[in-house]
Amino acid sequence: MMTTRNTARRSATRAARAGVAAVLLLPISACELDKLLEVDAPSRIPAETIQTPANATLLVNSAIADFECAYSAYVVVGGLIGEELADGIQTADRWPYDRRTVAPIDNRYSTFGCTAIGAYSPLQSARTQAENTLTLLEGWTDAEVPNRAQLIATMSAHAGWSLLLLGEAFCSMAVSIVHPDGTPQYGGEIQRDSVFKLAEARLTQAINGSTDASIKNMALLGRAKARQNLNRLADARADAAQVPANFVRNISASAATARRQNRVFSESSSISSSSVVAEPYRSMTDPRVQFSRPTPPRNTVTGIPVVFQTKYLDAAAPIPFATGDEAQMIIAEADLAAGNLTAATAIINLFRTRAGQAPFVGTTAAAVRAELIEQRRREFFLEGQHLGDLIRYGITPTPAAGAAYHGGGNYGTQLCMPLPDAETRNNPSAD
């Protein structure tokens, strides 16, 4: 599991981040970017000062911190779009997530940071931080950097997972690079399957280079997910079968600073109703779908019932993101696709038994598939999985498109988020 980093580490992280340019070109021209990169800001540490072999571990930890913050925010974003959560406040620029009407012009999802539940910028920043650190590590030597091969594998795994999430959540993508010297290399717009192939390549690099079991299993599960999204289920199964059933890798969290907080708890808890448990989950009686209602009952300022999640009980609660449980679900899906209903049902019943449910007896592939999807919905509640499932399995979300939205307007059909205007306006290869 990822370990909690202390205050000194966070201060160093901010310094490292200042020296590494982010890939997302926010509303700023390429010419302006070049000028910005040349500014000698006295409050910043120059890149050449921080990007040294002696700081290799610091740079790796900084990249991991960016990924953790981005993932924590993504769980909320995916929950709002993907019917796990409903928005409970009057900040209208948040509503497109929940209303499923995200448009390329919207700023919240495209340019806001992870503490403000942005999506595009945090994930792209996490990807770029990992990619830039990977490039630096590959340019140094084993003599300069102890454990360099494992650090390379760790950055490859995090870069691959960042690509995986960008592929699952967005309708299309632009994968640009900012080189360690600050010069940008723009990437054109590509479709989701191409993003998954990029993720697969990075995760393969991590698998082949890792001597750390946790990183290797994280990468194997990630590659299985990439191959699942590419509908290469036999290959996905081969990867998933190598992940121990009891494996768990978490996003670590801390109450110390906003960036380190469990974003789900910050949004939905006994002290916050910014997001509340959404309609499809409020009637579930399942120990995996944990929620509570205040006494006496009350509504949010937008008029919907306050039902807050209790899966994460404080701001320091870790979030599972790569688990042997998901590996088992991928195996079941592959078995089902191969026509082995018995094997798929046996795995499904492991999860049902654990949740106190009676065994499922499926006689058709359609019935087993429906139950597999339902078990995924429950098992991975608020873990960042359901939005990808909605898209991959073609699930019709609740409330249905056209229903009245509590903040105004109607629910839409937009599940995957579009490539934002902030990218296409400022990336000459993606316009």
For the chain, which domains are there?
Answer: 7-387+405-424 (1.25.40.390)
Q: Is the pLDDT of residue 20 over 60?
A: no
In order of 80, 321, 351, the CA distances from 380 in angstroms are 15, 9, 11
Cα–Cα distance, 96 to 87 (Å, whole number):
10
370-386 pLDDT per residue, tens:
999 999 999 999 999 99
Q: What does the block give as tokens for 211? A: 């001597």
Do residues 199 and 178 touch, judged by C-beta distance below 8 A?
Answer: no
- Residue 48: pLDDT band (50, 70, 90) is low
Angstrom distance (rounded) from CA 159 to CA 178: 14
Beta pairing partners, 276: 86
Half-sphere exposure of 378 (CA within 13 A, CB side): 19
Query: What average pLDDT score do residues 275-293 get?
Result: 96
- The 10s digit of each residue's pLDDT in 74-127 is 999 999 999 999 999 999 999 999 999 999 999 999 999 999 999 999 999 999
Retrieve residue 357's tokens: 């449910």
What band does 50 get if pLDDT is binned at 50, 70 and 90?
confident
Q: Which of 13-22, 52-61, 317-326 has the lowest mean pLDDT?
A: 13-22
Tell me: cis bond preceding 296? Omega within 30 of 0 counts.
Answer: yes
Question: How many CB atoms neighbour CB 354 within 10 A?
Answer: 12
- DSSP character at residue 312: S
- Residues 227-268 have pLDDT tens digits of 999 999 999 999 999 999 999 999 999 999 999 999 999 999
